[in-house]
Structure 1
């Protein structure tokens, strides 16, 4: 754990639930894993590897991008985080309540949508096409966010 006092509110090393969560998934509780889980713990937050590195540096934890990438890959393989692919860099979010994602095709902004809001639509999509959410329970919906508008 870093001695930086700014890191204390982001650091999960003192939280037994994060440690327990990692152990349940067969993972060691390293400071890097705990800090990355802490970064992603805000609801609806999805960060690229570059953004995660920048935030870690900002809170005083300088980590090589390769380490962040490998950590996110391990956390994603075990289901603790999930990857959202869209235009630009892959973004990672914490896996919690089942949800879907909207992805702006222009700027890459990602928003989470609670599964409950789309239950009927997902059922209808499956009925019409046979397409079901992936193993994480997520569908990706692509379009343009309000900031990017309709202009091509």
Structure 2
């Protein structure tokens, strides 16, 4: 007889249920992709990666799923040039956004604590409710 495995809080099924969402196959696949990729992905990037991994989902389903996960607070959208990029909501972090290609990179809040304090002191601007600041520039690939 097989033993029951205890689910960990890091599993997509557990996260969906904690946020009151049904565990549909599309939601499980999209959330698992974001959890394993460790990157912020556009809708088309998420669809392409799911398709390449054999988890083909209709692009409209990827779009609706990311919107649902964002509304529930599991995922956040970062807007820059081009398509929005979606990443997991978790520890507060800031984002760097390339103005040329739109690449988004997460940056732990601890790395910008002093800078965020100085920005607030000089301008009164504070991180939003998610604790995030957006820093725009050009990524290393676009500077070559």
Name the TM-score class by shorter chain. 0.7 to 0.9
Q: Which runs of 5+ in 2 are unaligned?
A: 1-5
Specify the SS of the correspondent of 2:142.
coil
CA spacing shift, 1:50–1:99, aligned 2, 3 Å: same
The number of aligned residues is 137
Specify the SS of the correspondent of 2:30.
helix
* Cα distance in 2 for residues equivalent to 1:60 and 1:86: 29
RMSD (Å), alpha carbons: 1.8
Specify the SS of the correspondent of 1:142.
strand
**Of residues 86, 97, 100 in structure 2, which corresponds to 1:92?**
86
TM-score (norm 2): 0.87
The answer to whether 1:21 aligns with 2:15 is yes
TM-score (norm 1): 0.83
The answer to whether 1:145 aligns with 2:139 is yes
**Of residues 63, 76, 95 in structure 2, which corresponds to 1:69?**
63
Specify the SS of the correspondent of 2:35.
coil
Specify the SS of the correspondent of 2:111.
helix
Q: Which runs of 5+ in 1 are unaligned?
A: 1-13
Write out the 4+ residue segments of structure 1 that deviate beyond 2 Å after TM superposition. 14-18
